[in-house]
Structure 1
Amino acid sequence: MTNYLKEYFDYKAFLLCLALVAVGLLSVYSATFDVGAAGAFEKQVVWAGVGLLSMLIAALFPIRALQRIAFPTYIVTLGILLVVLVVGKTISGSKSWFGVGGLGGQPSEFAKVATILALAAFLARTTTSLSNVKHLLIAIGIVVAPMILILAQPDLGTTVVFFAMLLPVLYWAGASNFILAAIIAAVLSAAAALFGTLTFLITLVIAGALLYLTRQNRFAAAVAFALTLAIGLSVQAVYERLPAYQQKRISSFLNPELDPKGAGYNVLQSKVAIGSGGFFGKGYLQGTQTQLNFIPEQWTDFIFCVPGEEFGFLGASIVLTLFAGLLLHGIKVAYLSKNRFASAAAIGVTGIFAIHMLINIGMSMGLLPVIGIPLPFVSYGGSALIANMVMVGLLMNFYANRKEH
């Protein structure tokens, strides 16, 4: 029995997940027990229990069956996202919540899982080749379809996560460096257009160099650069035609310090909290910024400031180490899996965890714009916690079946 568990039970993913969930429960309790968020901790405990059960189900689900139901599940998920746009509940300006009776959640969180599996199932087909333009467009379309529906809610943060999931999966599936460079160049151009002419021009030079270095032929590089330029100019033109108040919102979003009493308030207070923690922190439940509620709803997107202030640099480093361990293990599972579907799905799961961690912690430290992305396993929220634990269950499943083709 011991040898069987050692061979097939992915204790690393299991224990790392439980450790991060424990960090989350401690942080949510600390952030909510004295600020009027009644029942938040108790709800998170219940969701963690549901997540644990869901994780074990995902870990035991037959891979072949998982691959067969990937596309039907994906189609149903798209349908639910459409329904949410019509009858969904608006919270924090985003129409992303769907409820039946007393139960509810965010379908976009589970759409990540469905999209990963559908993309992996398509790429695992023996007839699929990313050198074929049609197949490449289908692969991109699988990810873009839910992105459009989620952006319409609007939920920019989750949309960014979907894009970040696409690149590592395409790379892992054998997409050429030129294709990846073209996608990255287009996105960089669109983003840089919002930061002024100089930034846009510098980005174009970098994008051009990237396309030239990875080119398959000069014509393809020229077409890709023209599209990159057109996308950037289009974004710039749309931005310039927006009313002044909308431009101000975007500027504050990109640089919160321009509006320290509005959009930038949470970021500035989060930076103060993390910086004031020192090396060892102020002690559990002893954080001044967090306990005095200087950071509104700190138990969600800015949860990282809680361990950062209360446990200091040491505590924050432990959290980062746990995430690093999970990410490295996810890459290992993808590498060891002989099944193409499992391998692609594992790298997609790892990519989602990575982008969530990087952006959330970057937001908390004022290094990245605030786009409303929770910290996996740690931030308060049932849908995200359950979906993330399901994805860990998938990693456990792929590890147990890593030798199967």
Structure 2
Amino acid sequence: MSASEFFKKFDLTLVLATISLITLGVFAIFSATSSSEFSDQFYERHMIFGIAGVVMMLVISYLPPKHLEKVSSVLYVLSLLLLVSVLIFGKKISGQRSWFSFGGFGIQPAEFAKVATVMIVAFFLSKDSEGRNSKLGLKDTLVIAGLVLLPVALIALQPDTGTNLVFLSILIPVFLWAGMPAFFIVALIAPVIVAISAFLSDIVGNYLLYVVLAITAIGIFLFKEKQYLKIGVIVLCLIAGFGSDYVYDHLETYQQKRIMSVFDPTSDPRGSGYNVIQSKVAIGSGGLFGKGYMQGTQTQLNFIPAQWTDFIFCMVGEEFGFIGSVVLIILYLVIVIKLINNGYNARSRFLSLACIGFASVFLFHLFINIGMTVGILPVIGIPLPLLSYGVSSLLSFTIMLGIGMNAYRNRNIVF
């Protein structure tokens, strides 16, 4: 194979964006942990496993797509077994039993379950299906929802709300890509919107819930679907709206405080609001160009807990400023756009759906992580892909990108 033929099948843009983010992660973790006695462990591990992840990414890109399809069921079952095992044998950290501890390493099965779940959903949708525009029936929808909700239920027992939200974020983009009718998409989204409006009604006034319910009901009845389906969705919306208070009352106390701290961080400045306040101070003090590498006062004085994991964006904002933050976000958007583009051009329906699922995972992580660091979303413990410290997260994202590269490499082959 000539060099020109090699690069035609090699997704150089995706590789360079990945390597850039991992490299930035090494420097960011070094700065965020420079005052820690365990500093070397964090950035060195990120570098070593980052290299291993890129190698694994390249290897996966050359695997036959049919092999990836066949192994998806095995990986899914294995991920479920690991999720069950971690509930029994896992190490409890911060009230969550999410980790296997091996010496100085921690392995989080839920991170790899994200990959396996996207793959099994893509496999199921690609089986006995022709064309991207084929319609998705109610039976298929329920089966796929079950495939996603099974790991969600196991992760809820840990409990890990943030990771569960990632799994749920997979459903709608993949359903849309698979050709699900718009009515079913609305049926999935509407109860969530109503539930959020019900919570906001406690702050801005009860009228908000009633307005949203009225608009939702009118919109649903405009669809040309069977009456019982439309009534069923409206009933779900009513349950979501009036049951939100009940759900909120049964959340853990720390989860309630995190939600309330989004609207008023000063209500608990030394508790649930502390991270958000310090994070906003760090990012705001960075200005346009930042304070300079390893010159951030908030970062170097360790004002922000978990600043090398979930809050690593604060370090970027403080030391590299607005410009550095924008460059970082652009790199992520390059990856998301490439995954969507690779999915669009893939001749394999399995690879096409997998790419869309992985793109939604990346985009959800990006939106939630940055949203919580700037104080517009609750702190739910979601890492920034490839940048935050975490072996399981790093390897799972490089696996996703390897499959994305596989789609690019095989884009001219019909399966």
TM range (shorter): over 0.9
Per the TM alignment, residue 33 of structure 1 is displaced from its structure 2 partner at its CA by 1.1
Partner of 2:363: 354
The letter of the residue matching 1:69 is V
Structure 1 runs of 4+ off > 6 angstroms?
A: none
User: 1:121 is matched with which residue: 98, 119, 123?
Assistant: 123
In structure 2, do the counterparts of structure 1 residues 273 and 103 end up closer, same or farther at CA, with 3 Å as the change threshold? closer
2:162 pairs with 1:157: yes
- 1:210-231 deviation line (CA, Å, top 9, x unaligned): 4345553444222111112123
In structure 2, do the counterparts of structure 1 residues 70 and 217 end up closer, same or farther at CA, with 3 Å as the change threshold? same
**Structure 1: which 5+ residue stretches go unaligned?**
none
Per the TM alignment, residue 166 of structure 1 is displaced from its structure 2 partner at its CA by 1.1
Partner of 1:23: 24
Provide the secondary structure at the position in 2 that maps to 1:46. helix
Give the whole-Å Cα distance in 1 for the aligned partners of 2:324 and 2:193.
34
Provide the secondary structure at the position in 2 that maps to 1:137. helix
User: Which moved further from structure 2: 294-303 or 198-207?
Assistant: 198-207
Provide the secondary structure at the position in 1 that maps to 2:92. strand
In structure 2, do the counterparts of structure 1 residues 219 and 11 end up closer, same or farther at CA, with 3 Å as the change threshold? same
Partner of 1:138: 143
Provide the secondary structure at the position in 2 that maps to 1:304. helix
Partner of 1:111: 113
Partner of 1:98: 100
Partner of 1:7: 8
1:27-106 counterparts in 2 under 5 A?
A: 27-38=28-39, 39-100=41-102, 103-106=105-108
Partner of 2:291: 282
User: Which moved further from structure 2: 213-222 or 247-256?
Assistant: 247-256
Partner of 2:268: 259
Per the TM alignment, residue 173 of structure 1 is displaced from its structure 2 partner at its CA by 0.3
Partner of 2:257: 249
In structure 2, do the counterparts of structure 1 residues 89 and 214 end up closer, same or farther at CA, with 3 Å as the change threshold? farther
- 1:99-153 deviation line (CA, Å, top 9, x unaligned): 3566530000000000010000000012597543221100111111111111111
In structure 2, do the counterparts of structure 1 residues 199 and 266 end up closer, same or farther at CA, with 3 Å as the change threshold? farther
Partner of 2:352: 343
Give the whole-Å Cα distance in 1 for the aligned partners of 2:250 and 2:30.
45
The letter of the residue matching 2:95 is G
The letter of the residue matching 2:412 is K
Give the whole-Å Cα distance in 2 for the aligned partners of 1:181 and 1:391.
28
Whether contact under 8 Å (2:92, 2:98) holds in the other structure is yes
Whether contact under 8 Å (1:181, 1:214) holds in the other structure is no
Give the whole-Å Cα distance in 2 for the aligned partners of 1:354 and 1:122.
23
Partner of 2:310: 301
Give the whole-Å Cα distance in 2 for the aligned partners of 1:285 and 1:396.
34
User: Which moved further from structure 2: 224-233 or 310-319?
Assistant: 224-233
The letter of the residue matching 1:27 is A
Give the whole-Å Cα distance in 2 for the aligned partners of 1:154 and 1:24.
27
Give the whole-Å Cα distance in 2 for the aligned partners of 1:300 and 1:103.
15
User: 2:336 is matched with which residue: 324, 327, 334?
Assistant: 327
User: 1:318 is matched with which residue: 320, 323, 327?
Assistant: 327
Give the whole-Å Cα distance in 2 for the aligned partners of 1:247 and 1:159.
14
Give the whole-Å Cα distance in 1 for the aligned partners of 2:259 and 2:87.
27
Partner of 1:179: 184
Aligned residue pairs, count = 404
In structure 2, do the counterparts of structure 1 residues 206 and 48 end up closer, same or farther at CA, with 3 Å as the change threshold? farther
Whether contact under 8 Å (1:130, 1:136) holds in the other structure is no
Whether contact under 8 Å (1:110, 1:383) holds in the other structure is yes
Whether contact under 8 Å (1:252, 1:259) holds in the other structure is no
Whether contact under 8 Å (1:215, 1:221) holds in the other structure is no
In structure 2, do the counterparts of structure 1 residues 254 and 310 end up closer, same or farther at CA, with 3 Å as the change threshold? closer
In structure 2, do the counterparts of structure 1 residues 334 and 248 end up closer, same or farther at CA, with 3 Å as the change threshold? closer
The letter of the residue matching 2:143 is I
Give the whole-Å Cα distance in 2 for the aligned partners of 1:301 and 1:313.
19
The letter of the residue matching 1:185 is A
- 1:72-111 deviation line (CA, Å, top 9, x unaligned): 2101111110111111111122111023566530000000
Provide the secondary structure at the position in 2 that maps to 1:98. strand
Per the TM alignment, residue 192 of structure 1 is displaced from its structure 2 partner at its CA by 3.8
TM-score, normalised to structure 1, is 0.94
